């Protein structure tokens, strides 16, 4: 009898893993499915970025192993962008590491930081790579529930000192997936100070920093003084440039953190595709021109969807960052039950809050990945789904 690891067993299966299969069945049956599930927008990467990729693929040198060093031009473009975007200087060789999507770095950092029994503080609901990497690395996850009470912020000062003493790693992500919360600078300053006091590495996951609305500008964690002592920041090409499947991001931070992550990764992968790194140079060098139209479109989608959902009786904030709506469900309506009903009876894919961990119960997430018109149509269908699910609840009682 083959026995699999206890670490693997500790990672529960995703509660709505059957969504893609149900969606396929419905589409085959001719149902007009609206997919607001994964954070994968319906618009393509910028045309000039695609052209650069096409040309790069024809260069045989781009088909070689990239290794951890990758393409020097990509490192240069990423550090140039960080200078323009945040006013921060990073050495492209020693303070930056290309990643196969930022998920790669987030999931592998715990292998460089944690020993058995060391604690990583994981915000929940949250991106599942944090807990995945922590558990697979043998660390001990401490789940911090993100709630409206704290503005969906992790308030480290509320954690017992004994816990902070054992904590080696903290994951933070603002603008946040899935709650769409943003973090004020004074909050980040407080948090960096606590991390410095307790020797906690701060993994700052920042893939949505450019998707912000109403004049809000999301900072880099390195805008906080002293952050270089404790933080590693993760950036992604996925969301700003719609390059999700191309798999490219990077980590930035002090040389000893970058070296440590580099060492872990050198045992498990051989770096991102060089042609994709070449294409990313075009994207990053033109970010100031390429990103505003994306933000304008997401703003239209957000405004249309928020208004339509409120008309249907849902309670939600209008977010200032990321590409998600975090929608509260009425007391007693289970998020998995609601999401399944909305999909099977009304052809709308959403993600149940519980899919981001038990603390996400009571909410569902809509990704702004389809047109404003489709989002309004989805809101109408979700309103009908909610009325039916509540009707069942009332009938049962
Ligand atoms: C919070 C968060 N972090 C990281 C990622 C991973 O992005 P990437 O495509 O760069 O791996 C995502 C993707 O959805 C995300 O939502």
Please give the torsion angle defined by the CA atoms of residues 152, 157, 163 and 165, in that order, rounded to the nearest 10 degrees: 130
Distance 14 CA to ligand 1 centre (A): 17
CATH classification at residue 316: 3.90.1150.10
Distance 241 CA to ligand 1 centre (A): 13
Closest residue (by CA) to atom 13 of ligand 1?
Answer: 39
Confidence of residue 15 (pLDDT cuts 50, 70, 90): low
Confidence of residue 297 (pLDDT cuts 50, 70, 90): very high
Strands 231-236 and 201-205: parallel
Last residue of a domain, one of 257, 287, 317: 287
Is 200 contained in some domain? yes
Distance 3 CA to ligand 1 centre (A): 31
Closest residue (by CA) to atom 6 of ligand 1?
Answer: 103
If asked whether residues 103 and 116 sit together in one domain, one would say: yes
Mean pLDDT over the full length of the chain: 95
Phi, psi of 99 (to 5 degrees): -125, 155
Distance 247 CA to ligand 1 centre (A): 10
Which ligand 1 atom sits closest to the C-alpha of 126? 1
- Among residues 136, 127, 196, 204, which one has the least CA distance to residue 167? 196
How far is the C-alpha of 212 from the C-alpha of 322, rounded, in Å?
Answer: 6
Distance 161 CA to ligand 1 centre (A): 31
If asked whether residues 383 and 262 sit together in one domain, one would say: no
- Would residue 87 be called left, alpha or beta, if left means φ above 0 and alpha means ψ between -120 and 50 degrees? left
- How many structural domains are present in the chain? 2
Distance 205 CA to ligand 1 centre (A): 8
If asked whether residues 103 and 141 sit together in one domain, one would say: yes
| pLDDT tens string 191-221 | 999 999 999 999 999 999 999 999 999 999 9
If asked whether residues 180 and 86 sit together in one domain, one would say: yes
Is 296 contained in some domain? yes
If asked whether residues 60 and 174 sit together in one domain, one would say: yes
If asked whether residues 377 and 271 sit together in one domain, one would say: no
If asked whether residues 87 and 233 sit together in one domain, one would say: yes
Indicate the burial class of 178 (C-beta count within 10 angstroms; 0-12, 13-18, 19 or more): buried
Ligand 1, pocket residues at CB < 6 Å:
39, 101-103, 127, 173, 177, 205, 207, 236, 238, 244, 249
pLDDT at 45 over 50: yes
If asked whether residues 176 and 294 sit together in one domain, one would say: no
Whole-structure pTM value: 0.96
Compute the radius of gyration of the chain from its Cα atoms.
21
Last residue of a domain, one of 287, 308, 334: 287
Alpha-carbon distances of 64 from 13, 162, 271, 319, rounded to whole Å: 36, 49, 10, 42
How far is the C-alpha of 259 from the C-alpha of 71, rounded, in Å?
Answer: 17
pLDDT of res. 17 = 77
If asked whether residues 68 and 150 sit together in one domain, one would say: yes
Distance 18 CA to ligand 1 centre (A): 21
How far is the C-alpha of 173 from the C-alpha of 154, rounded, in Å?
Answer: 10
How far is the C-alpha of 15 from the C-alpha of 353, rounded, in Å?
Answer: 10
Distance 106 CA to ligand 1 centre (A): 9
Is 263 contained in some domain? yes
How far is the C-alpha of 220 from the C-alpha of 231, rounded, in Å?
Answer: 10
Q: Hey, what are 254's tokens?
A: 């002090």
Our mutation pick for probing the ligand 1 site, out of 98, 177, 241, 265, counting the most ligand atoms within 8 A of Cβ, is 177
- Among residues 172, 209, 169, which one has the least CA distance to residue 88? 209
Distance 166 CA to ligand 1 centre (A): 27
| pLDDT tens string 235-275 | 999 999 999 999 999 999 999 999 999 999 999 999 999 99
Is 37 contained in some domain? no
Closest residue (by CA) to atom 16 of ligand 1?
Answer: 177
The distance of Cα 67 from the centroid of its chain, to the nearest Å, equals: 25
CATH classification at residue 134: 3.40.640.10
pLDDT of res. 18 = 83
If asked whether residues 131 and 175 sit together in one domain, one would say: yes
Last residue of a domain, one of 287, 311, 333: 287
Our mutation pick for probing the ligand 1 site, out of 182, 208, 210, 239, counting the most ligand atoms within 8 A of Cβ, is 239
Do 210 and 178 meet the contact criterion of CB atoms below 8 Å apart? no
pLDDT of res. 1 = 87
Distance 102 CA to ligand 1 centre (A): 6
Is 343 contained in some domain? yes
Do 91 and 82 meet the contact criterion of CB atoms below 8 Å apart? no
Is 239 contained in some domain? yes
| pLDDT tens string 157-179 | 888 999 999 999 999 999 999 99
Is 342 contained in some domain? yes
| pLDDT tens string 338-355 | 999 999 999 999 999 999
Is 15 contained in some domain? yes
Mean pLDDT to the nearest integer, 281-296: 98
Do 381 and 150 meet the contact criterion of CB atoms below 8 Å apart? no
- Among residues 225, 279, 219, which one has the least CA distance to residue 248? 279
Closest residue (by CA) to atom 2 of ligand 1?
Answer: 127
Domain that includes residue 360, residue range? 6-31+289-388
If asked whether residues 95 and 189 sit together in one domain, one would say: yes
Alpha-carbon distances of 351 from 18, 19, 304, rounded to whole Å: 12, 9, 19
Alpha-carbon distances of 221 from 188, 206, 298, rounded to whole Å: 7, 9, 24
**Which residues 6+ apart lie within 8 Å of 19 measured at CB?**
37, 339, 343, 349
Alpha-carbon distances of 70 from 89, 117, 210, rounded to whole Å: 20, 34, 24
Which ligand 1 atom sits closest to the C-alpha of 100? 11
Q: Which helix (H) or strand (E) holds 198?
A: helix 185-198
Mean pLDDT to the nearest integer, 312-321: 95
| Stretch among 107-116, 177-186, 253-262, 355-364 having the lowest mean pLDDT | 355-364
Which ligand 1 atom sits closest to the C-alpha of 248? 10
Q: Which helix (H) or strand (E) holds 366?
A: strand 363-367
Confidence of residue 396 (pLDDT cuts 50, 70, 90): very low
If asked whether residues 347 and 336 sit together in one domain, one would say: yes
Distance 58 CA to ligand 1 centre (A): 29
pLDDT of res. 14 = 67
pLDDT at 397 over 70: no
Our mutation pick for probing the ligand 1 site, out of 181, 207, 235, 367, counting the most ligand atoms within 8 A of Cβ, is 207
How far is the C-alpha of 322 from the C-alpha of 155, rounded, in Å?
Answer: 21
| pLDDT tens string 56-90 | 999 999 999 999 999 999 999 999 999 999 999 99
**Which residues 6+ apart lie within 8 Å of 111 measured at CB?**
133, 136, 137, 264
| pLDDT tens string 120-167 | 999 999 999 999 999 999 999 999 999 999 999 999 988 899 999 999
């Amino acid at each position: 009898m083959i026995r699999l690891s206890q670490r693997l067993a500790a990672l529960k299966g995703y509660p709505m893993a059957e969504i893609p299969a149900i969606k396929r069945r419905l589409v085959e049956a001719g149902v007009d499915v609206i997919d607001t599930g994964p954070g994968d927008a319906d618009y393509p990467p910028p045309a000039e970025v695609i052209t650069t990729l096409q040309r790069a693929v024809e260069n045989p040198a781009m088909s070689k192993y990239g290794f951890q060093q990758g393409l020097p031009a990509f490192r240069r473009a990423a550090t140039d962008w960080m200078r323009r975007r945040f006013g921060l200087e990073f050495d492209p060789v020693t303070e930056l590491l290309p990643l196969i999507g930022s998920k790669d770095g987030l999931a592998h950092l715990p292998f460089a930081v944690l020993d058995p029994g060391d604690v990583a503080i994981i915000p929940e609901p949250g991106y599942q790579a944090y807990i995945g990497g922590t558990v697979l690395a043998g660390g001990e996850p401490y789940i911090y529930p993100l709630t409206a009470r704290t503005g969906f912020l992790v308030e480290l000062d509320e954690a017992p000192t004994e816990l902070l003493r054992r904590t080696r790693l903290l994951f933070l992500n603002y603008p946040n997936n899935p709650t769409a919360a943003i973090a004020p600078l004074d909050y980040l300053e407080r948090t960096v100070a606590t991390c410095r006091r307790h020797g906690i590495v701060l993994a700052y996951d920042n893939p949505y920093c450019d998707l912000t609305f109403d004049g809000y500008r999301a900072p880099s964690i390195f805008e906080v003084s002293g952050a270089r002592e404790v933080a590693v920041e993760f950036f992604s090409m996925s969301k700003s440039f719609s390059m999700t499947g191309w798999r490219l991001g990077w980590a930035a931070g002090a040389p000893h953190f970058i070296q440590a992550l580099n060492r872990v990764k050198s045992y498990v992968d051989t770096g991102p595709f060089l042609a994709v790194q070449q294409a990313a140079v075009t994207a990053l060098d033109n970010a100031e021109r390429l990103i505003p139209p994306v933000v304008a479109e997401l703003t239209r989608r957000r405004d249309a969807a928020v208004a339509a959902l409120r008309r249907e009786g849902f309670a939600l904030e209008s977010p200032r960052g990321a590409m998600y709506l975090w929608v509260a469900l009425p007391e007693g309506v289970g998020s998995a039950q609601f999401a399944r009903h909305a999909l099977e009876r009304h052809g709308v894919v959403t993600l149940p809050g519980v899919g981001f961990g038990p603390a996400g119960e009571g909410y569902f997430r809509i990704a702004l990945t389809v047109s404003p018109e489709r989002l309004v149509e989805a809101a109408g269908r979700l309103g009908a789904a909610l009325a039916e699910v509540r009707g069942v609840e009332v009938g049962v009682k």
